[in-house]
Structure 1
Amino acid sequence: VWVYGGEEECYAKGQVLSLDDSKGTVSYRIKVAGSTRDVRADSVLKANKDRQDGEMDNTFLRELNEASLLHNIRVRYNGADDGGCYTVTGHILIAVNPFRDLSIYDEKQIKRYLGRPIGSEPPHIYAVADRMYRLLASTNESQAIVVSGPSGAGKTETCKLVLRHLAYVTKDVTAAGMSKSSMELGSLLVMTNPLLEAFGNAETVLNRNSSRFGKFTQIHVSRKGAILGASIQTYLLESTRVVSQSANECNYHIFYQLVNSPDMAKHQISSDANKYTYLKSASGKATPRRGMDAKEFTVVSEVIDSIGVSNDVKLALISTISGLLHLGNIKLSENPNGDSYVSDMSELQLTSKLLSTNEGLLLQGLCSRTMKLKGSEMQIPLKPHEAQNSRNALAKAIYSKIFSWIIQQINSSLMDPNTKLDGSGILGILDIYGFENFEKNSLEQLFINFTNEQLHQHFAISLFKTEQEIYASEGIVWPGVDWEDNSECLDVIAGKAPSSIFNTLTEHSRLPKSNDGEMTEKLLADQRKSKYLFPPKLGKHGGPGGGGKAQRLTNKEAFVISHFAGQVIYRTEGWLRKNTDTLHEDLQLCMSSSTSPLLAQMFSVGTINAITGGSKGGSKRAGFVADKYARQLDELMRTLRCTQSHFVRCIKPNHEQKPRVFKDKLVLDQLRNSGMVDAVRLLSAGYSTRLPFNTLEKQFKPLCPAKFQSLPPAEFCVALLTAFNLSRTDFLLGLTKAFFKSGKLA
């Protein structure tokens, strides 16, 4: 059996010595690693025999539970086979980051999986990618692959492998009237990754190349299997990273690539990252880099050329990135009146030159704001901290627009406007952040966890559909099972009721004198009967596992949501400011009057919505971040619901990024947060153990009398299971497999 030993130990293998039910509850005396323990029955799960260690498909395990799932993944990961980083549970692929180069991704491996049904070859991302493409080609039903996991789990690399497979299988397929061939479009999709990573990825403590945004790539495929074009939609770029980073973390790659580029001096940039405020982390120093920035800058420059950006615009882009670094160096001091002023005009002059803005307008926009009264205007000086916030808001706004503009340029290169998409299908690749629960959780974590709640619901519904198809393919009637619907939790966060979190946040963002505390109190009062949202209890620094002195968070400071993956405490400090996605009018005017071909386009009134994804028509809610994100996510979910979805759960085995190091607690938390443990429970409610007839024959026929050995596979299995005295409710026989209730084939 497996014995749960708490958060740190997770599960240890033991042997039952005795059972005691004399006190009204069942408990076991178990021998574990030479010692004896008395444990409650709910801390014990059945284990499989050692011969089942390392099964490629977890549904082949005769005992399927979270302990056996964790153990089997660990055994495969620590094995000698490079393919051990992959395990499947039915059609769900679990990919554990190996943190080393493997020999299983070359062209020979792509060919190995071409046209092969799932299960006929060892688990692999190429198997999932090939199944997607073949299903689209044969049924014309759109397909999507959802790749999720925490930072450093390998999501980005997994998506690259899907694109590599797709580029290979479509290289010889052509479509009439296309300006680019399938091979060119497939190669371009792969080739644009360095540009996306330069502007959207950053080095963190846990991951050298961490994606700081979500991405959904839609690839349009003709009925003959040719790529017609593609588009990329992004979600939740972490704009705060542009102006501040935690200790030992970095800003976006592009800044360091520019600092280390051969042409840095030409762009008014020093090679010393410590000279730039925006490149210094909370430690006070620039974090040493682990990448090859100079070489990568050259690659990024080549990609920009390849997607059709003119040289003038490319130079304007580089100049703008340089200008952002110098913008962060503008010193805003306090004068005798307590108002802000720029104490070093040289940095402001250089910033203005690089951004091609009017120096006077930039100075005015940083140190004051215009207040409009009846028929007149007056300048209101900003305090130093207000001026710093204003400067940082400008930096974040410029960078966010640059990122959106880059996505727009990539999409233009991937989709010919004259291409006819009638009758084409879609292959979607969703690279999305996993569930988060930190010591301090803010609005960003709520957005991420709301996304995961939506995807968890989609995952459960898709799993039901896939299970039905598996049973149907074996000629078995689907035995319906119950599952816990999370619709109520979704409604609490973003439902139509005025009391939902997003609606409450928007309402208080509109009110001129509201504050975060009032909003939080109102939310808790309105949701007092909800089982998914409630006040915070005594905690350590507001999050799980936080050290230090315990403190009580008040109803003005935080609330708790009970998510599918566990309870999360959200601190609401700064939420109203974060939700109001606006730049004050003086700085908007300054940027829109820029002579830069890039900034003038980005900040002109007619193109702001196109570049930022805002709502057209001047909706009253258009400027609120939560509403924008809810609309984006709603559109994504509608798209996913129209596809047959495939799921890849990327797992990070250790924080040190070392090969062959597997931390049980870390992995088990991810299996729970990804919904895999819930999936196991759902499967176990049906017939979770599936064994091919030939497996049963191979194991038991040699032990049977001669007359049994001559029976055909299906008849032999019926005779065998009848001899085992199994009830007909304990198993089902399909065309090629036997389906068992969990634990019934021990």
Structure 2
Amino acid sequence: MPKQMNGPKRDPAIQNELNDSLKEEVKAFLSDDDKLHLFDDLTKVNPVNTATVLKCLQARYTVDVFYTNAGCSLVAVNPFQPVCRLYSSELMNEYHAALRPQELKPHIFTVAEQTYRNVGSQIEPINQSIIVSGESGAGKTWTSRCLMKFYATVAASSASPKSNETVERIEKRVLDSNPVMEAFGNACTLRNNNSSRFGKYIQLQLNRSQHLTSASIQTFLLEKTRVAYQAPHERNFHIFYQITKGATKDERLEWNLPEGANFFWLPNSERTLEEDCFEVTREAMFHLGIDSSTQNNIFKILAGLLHLGNIQFSDSVDESQPCEPEDNAKGFVETTANLLKVSVEELLETLRIRTITAGKQQHVFKKPCSRRECETRRDCLAKVLYAKLFDWLVSVINGSICADSPVWTNFIGLLDVYGFESFPENNLEQLCINYANEKLQQHFVAHYLKAQQEDYAAEGLEWSFINYQDNQSCLDLIEGSPVSIFSLLNEECRLNRSSNASQFQTRIENALSPNQCISRDKFSKKPNFVVSHYAGKVCYQVEGMVEKNKDPVPLELLQLLKNSQDCLLQKFFPMTEKSQNDTKTQNRTTVVTVVSKFKGSLESLMQILHSTAPHYIRCIKPNADCKAMTFKKEEVMLPRCPYLSIAY
């Protein structure tokens, strides 16, 4: 190991002199405009700081160079327009055939080929992972798609004629999983027309001959709330727009989707996006083994959800009487019931009547819901149904691309995780997403430091740390023990009482104020807390956060779906002996919260990443408006990477 030396504290006067000297160096470096685009590795920039790095990236972007090395990672700047020459099969084969691909121009294919060769070398750790990160709209989904295409292409090229048919079949199915997952899991947001609203880790599994034999997909934290709520200027999941725009005349009649119909859960449908293409999704589903009849069944259920969203209720004059659907909503009740194959009476009762079990004798009472409660139950029904449909689709995809473990020996994993998010209003979803990004940032920093130490040791150099931004305090704030935001959220859920946003804000402040990463927006009238993340401060609204963490599903809603005569819903919600019992078990069941489940799945993912050799691709969004070939330095969220803050 190299010798670690602690840097001495500097005199303020000397520090000021160094700062002035650095400014002169930066000025001198930036004055040589003609050569800035030639820096293909940001670690070669001298001095290394935000200004010089951004200027180099901008200079390269201006001459249509979108990839730049940054030590052990690759920076990819989104061009926001097709650049076909960069992703052709010929270029893939060029990187695959090169003796030293790292000597070619920086590219995602360099990273892909390196991982492929690492598996072939059988040097521990054999399994590889590529972590694709960046803010929403930076190009992570496109990058993952191109990486999958690369592996499918090179694996097929190395296969023998006998095994080539199997490889091509798996290749086709792996690639067809993309449009299906994007249709059901992506949506248009303020930042990105094709934003992934879930995280996924794809394992591409290779045999001893390095042929692609199978794959598996692990997903986490689908933003199911989007089904029933879309922020202003945003849209629902792509698939809803695909069926309303792409259905045939006969399908419109069967699914009750007349042209020009208005649905509350289908905002901004007048916008036409590339992602609205229905035929691409249908064809991909067919190749994955989902036949026409099953597809029709799926789309009928989705149409039922759109009609469900149009069921609005009026306030009841008498609290002892259930709320009535508004006059123009009664037709939607019947249509929803027909499409989901449930009875109209049971649907109405489930949405309007709450079942309460109380006392030692477990007496059952029925209580009419308020208008707001009716709408909450309606939204809950949509969310639980869509989440089940999504999980089922993932299992079908895995069934079509997986193989028994004896068939494959090693894997290359692709992690496409949602980017860091900060919207005008942020809640539990954004907290979980940004928590995941904090964990990945910590993983990156730890790996980078290890790689640097190994380089210094190989060269026999002495080295010393200077201060750099460590995000452990932020992680302690969110997930730490004994007290953290997550633990306080879970405690509120266990207490099983009506949540008060102002009181919960006070609890957070009192318990976590010693942590410097938390504060509050004192100018906001809404209860909130602000977390200082590695990528910037985010203000989270407290209202509704505890309820979202509980994610309660009334048993009556589940029973309604179990009673459906639809063959697909019967698969999603099987009628078991246990489900036919009364509601006694619900009261004894331990509440498994959203953050607990997400933390558990993220910990499992991190264990996989720690067991593999990691590679990093940092995607960067060059402007906030997603305009082609426009680089605005003031709008670029540059990753706070160690190469900007650790002395060499």
What TM-score does the superposition give when structure 2 sets the normalisation length? 0.88
Partner of 2:375: 388
1:333 aligns to what SS in structure 2? coil
Q: Find out whether 1:632 has 2:598 as its counterpart.
A: no
| Pairwise CA distance, 1:135 | 0.8
Alignment partner for residue 95 of structure 2, among 113, 125, 129? 113
Rounded Cα–Cα distance in structure 2 between residues aligned with 1:605 and 1:447: 33
Distance 1:24 1:309, change over 3 A: closer
1:46 to 2:29 alignment: no
Report the residue type matching 2:534 in the other structure. Answer: F
- Residues 453-532 of structure 1: pairs in structure 2 closer than 5 A: 453-471=438-456, 475-477=459-461, 479=463, 481=465, 483-497=468-482, 499-515=483-499, 516-532=501-517
1:398 partner amino acid: L
After superposition, where does 1:20-39 map in structure 2 within 5 Å?
Answer: 26=16
Match of 1:290?
A: 273
Alignment-mate amino acid for residue 240 of structure 2: F
Once the 2 structures are TM-superposed, how far is the Cα of residue 26 of structure 1 from its aligned partner? 4.5
Secondary structure of residue in 1 paired with 2:547: helix
Helix, strand or coil: the match of 1:493?
helix
| In the alignment, structure 1 residue 337 sits paired with structure 2 residue 318 | yes
**Cα contact 1:560–1:569 (8 A) shared by 2:** yes
Letter in 2 for 1:46: V
Residues 172 and 378 of structure 1: CA distance in aligned 2, closer, same or farther (over 3 Å): same
Relative distance call for 1:24 and 1:465 in structure 2 (3 A) is closer
SS at match of 2:463: coil
Q: Does 1:568 align with 2:549?
A: no
Over 3 Å counting, the alpha-carbon distance change for 1:22 and 1:596 in structure 2 is closer
Q: CA deviation at 1:181?
A: 2.0
**CA shift digits 1:73-115 (9 cap, x unpaired):** 0000011xx3x11111123111111112212211121122114
d(CA) in 2 for partners of 1:456, 1:365 = 45
Distance 1:214 1:191, change over 3 A: same
Equivalent residues in 2 for 1:531-550 (5 A)? 531-533=516-518, 535-539=519-523, 541=524
Structure 2 unaligned segments of length 5 or more: list them: 1-10, 580-587
Q: Answer yes or no: is the 8 Å Cα contact 1:340–1:381 preserved in 2.
A: yes
Q: 1:383 to 1:176 in 2, by over 3 A?
A: farther
Structure 2 partner of 1:440: 425
1:577–1:273 CA distance, 2 compared to 1 (3 A): farther
Does the 8 Å contact 1:602/1:608 carry over to 2? Answer: no
Question: Residue type matched to 1:620 in 2?
Answer: T
CA distance in 2, matches of 1:189, 1:607: 37
Q: Distance in 1 between matches of 2:285 and 2:263?
A: 25
Distance 1:273 1:397 in 2: 28
Structure 1 distance, partners of 2:438, 2:242, is 36
Q: Please state how far the C-alpha of 1:446 moved relative to its aligned partner.
A: 1.1
Aligned in 2, Cα 1:376/1:180: closer, same or farther, shift over 3 Å? farther
Specify the code of the residue in structure 1 equivalent to 2:600: R
> 1:178-189 to 2 correspondence within 5 Å?
181-189=166-174
> Structure 1 regions of 5+ residues with no counterpart?
1-20, 29-38, 542-550, 610-617, 687-746
The 8 Å contact of residues 45 and 67 in structure 1, kept in 2 or not, is answered as: no
Question: Contact 1:175 / 1:226 at 8 angstroms: preserved in 2?
Answer: no
TM-score, normalised relative to structure 1:
0.77
Match of 1:137 in 2: 120
2: distance between equivalents of 1:440 and 1:246? 9
Counterpart for residue 645 of structure 2: 681
| C-alpha deviation, 1:434, in angstroms | 2.1
**Which AA in structure 1 matches 2:26?**
K
Written as runs of structure 1 = structure 2, the 5 A alignment for 1:191-340 is 191-263=176-248, 264-272=251-259, 274-280=261-267, 286-291=269-274, 293=276, 296-338=277-319, 339-340=322-323
Q: Is the 8 A contact 1:95 1:649 kept in 2?
A: yes
- Are positions 1:89 and 2:70 aligned together? yes
Structure-2 residue corresponding to 1:72: 56
Instruction: Confirm or deny: 8 A CA contact 2:194 2:275 kept in the other structure.
Output: no
**2-structure distance, mates of 1:131, 1:350:** 55
- Contact 1:52–1:61 (CA under 8 A) maintained in structure 2: no
> Alignment length, in residue pairs?
612
Question: Which amino acid in 2 is paired with 1:107?
Answer: S
1:331-370 paired onto structure 2 within 5 Å: 331-338=312-319, 339-343=322-326, 344-370=329-355
1:644 to 613, 616, 620: 613
Secondary structure at the counterpart of residue 192 of structure 1:
helix
Equivalent position SS for 2:513: coil
State yes or no: 1:400 paired with 2:370.
no
Closer, same or farther in 2 for the Cα pair 1:22/1:371, shift >3 Å?
Answer: closer
Q: Which amino acid aligns with 1:492?
A: L
* Aligned residues of 1:85 and 1:96 also touching (Cα < 8 A): yes
Give me the whole-angstrom Cα distance separating, in 2, the residues matched to 1:305 and 1:608: 35
Q: Which has the larger radius of gyration?
A: 1
How big is the shift at 1:269? 3.4
1:637-676 aligned at under 5 Å gives the runs 637-667=606-636, 670-671=637-638, 674-676=639-641
Please say if residues 91 and 118 of structure 1, whose CA atoms lie closer than 8 Å, have aligned partners that are also in contact.
Answer: no
Measure how far apart 1:666 and its partner are: 1.2
Which of 380, 398, 406 is the equivalent residue of 1:420?
406
**Equivalent residue for 1:125, pick from 102, 108, 112:** 108
Q: Give the deviation of 1:200 after TM superposition.
A: 0.9
Point out the more displaced range, 593-602 or 166-175: 166-175
Quote the Cα distance in structure 1 between the aligned partners of 2:424 and 2:263.
Answer: 29
Deviation at 1:467, TM superposition (A): 2.5
More moved, 170-179 vs 225-234: 170-179
AA aligned to 2:223 is: E
In 2, Cα distance between the equivalents of 1:180 and 1:170? 12
Q: 1:214, 1:432 within 8 Å by CA — same for their partners in 2?
A: yes
Contact 1:256–1:273, Cα closer than 8 Å, also in 2: no
Contact 2:227 2:237 in 1 (8 A): yes
Given candidates 576, 583, 588, the residue that maps to 2:553 is 583
Letter of the 2:106 counterpart: P
Structure 2 SS opposite 1:386: helix
Q: Judging changes above 3 Å, is the alpha-carbon distance between structure 1 residues 108 and 403 closer, same or farther for their aligned structure 2 residues? A: same
Distance 1:526 1:207, change over 3 A: closer
Deviation at 1:476, TM superposition (A): 4.2
Query: What SS is found at the alignment partner of 1:170?
Result: helix
- Superposition deviation, residue 166 in structure 1: 0.2
Superposition deviation, residue 205 in structure 1: 3.6
The CA deviation string for residues 329-369 of structure 1, in whole angstroms up to 9 with x for no partner, is 12322232154122343221111111111222111111111
Question: C-alpha root-mean-square deviation of aligned residues, in Å?
Answer: 3.0
Whole-Å separation in 2 of the counterparts to 1:607 and 1:440: 43
Contact 2:138 2:620 in 1 (8 A): yes
**C-alpha distance in structure 2 between counterparts of 1:270 and 1:572, whole Å:** 38
The 2-side partners of 1:636 and 1:380 are apart by: 43
Which residue number corresponds to residue 585 of structure 2? Answer: none
The structure whose residues are more often helix, as a share, is 2
3-state SS of 1:278 partner? coil
Q: 1:527 to 1:42 in 2, by over 3 A?
A: farther
- Does the 8 Å contact 2:73/2:616 carry over to 1? yes
User: C-alpha offsets along residues 134-177 of structure 1, whole Å, 9 cap, x if unaligned?
Assistant: 11111251111111112221111111110111001100445999
Identify the range of structure 1 (272-281 vs 319-328) with the bigger mean alpha-carbon deviation: 272-281
Structure 1 residue 401: Cα displacement: 1.2
CA separation of 1:176 and 1:489: change in aligned 2, threshold 3 A: farther
How far off is 1:299 after superposition? 2.2
Question: Is contact 2:22-2:47 (8 Å) kept?
Answer: no
The alpha-carbon distance between structure 1 residues 421 and 464, as it changes in their structure 2 partners (threshold 3 A), is farther
